[in-house]
Structure 1
Amino acid sequence: MITITDKGAEKVREFLDSNPQEGEAGLRVGVRGGGCSGFQYVLAFDEKRDGDMTFNSGGITVLCDRQSFPYVTGSTIDYLDAMTGAGFKVENPNVTAACGCGSSFRVEDQEEVSAV
């Protein structure tokens, strides 16, 4: 499961209301290879695709492809608005290491594969 905080849901709702899409639209959460620690988050406003896992959190549809799900399961998506910047933040219990800038991460399975 992937959840979204009240503040995160509010920001997603604001975007979706100002940019209507056809079909079931929501916040897509995924990962891709890259960055200094191995994986980077992919967050996008998108429509549901075949094979997506979907969750409802805070009245928002959260979408995730099946390949990304093992790396983000249990995560919470929040929206932060601070003097240093604003944006979505992922709190991921699967992360075992992250880069200093916070844009990439590593998970336990990845470390085991890297060690072989």
Structure 2
Amino acid sequence: MKNRKENLPIRVMVFEGGCSGTSLGMALDEQKQDDQVFEENGLTFVINQDLFNEIQPITVDYIETPHGTGFKLSSGFVSAGGGCGSCSSCG
């Protein structure tokens, strides 16, 4: 099972609700027939084609801050989660 997860692409998705309302997130997931696929620096990202059409352009950055490291997603359509992954402040 471990090897199977290591080969899964990273899905970019929208989460509804939470502290900040609608936000972008990522998770390991199977590629689906209606996905747009992108490869960057050896990583494979997938996103539903309809969602991609709504929220593009999307930028995925890897950030390092005094509070931790992680991915930061940016889109003009929805707010994006930072590296801490929680509703409370990162400090």
What pairs up with 1:1-116 in 2 under 5 angstroms? Answer: 19-21=2-4, 25-92=8-75, 94-95=76-77, 98=79, 103=81
| Larger Cα-atom Rg | 1
Extract unaligned runs of 5+ from structure 2. Answer: 82-91
Number of residue pairs matched by the alignment = 80
Root mean square deviation, CA, Å:
2.8
In the TM superposition, what is the alpha-carbon distance from 1:70 to its structure 2 partner? 3.2
The structure with higher relative contact order (CA 8 Å, sep 6+) is: 1
* Higher fraction of helix: 1
SS in 1 for 2:53: helix
Regions of 4+ moved over 4 Å? none
TM-score normalised over the length of structure 2: 0.65
Extract unaligned runs of 5+ from structure 1. Answer: 1-18, 104-116
| Range with greater deviation from structure 2 (70-79 or 83-92) | 70-79
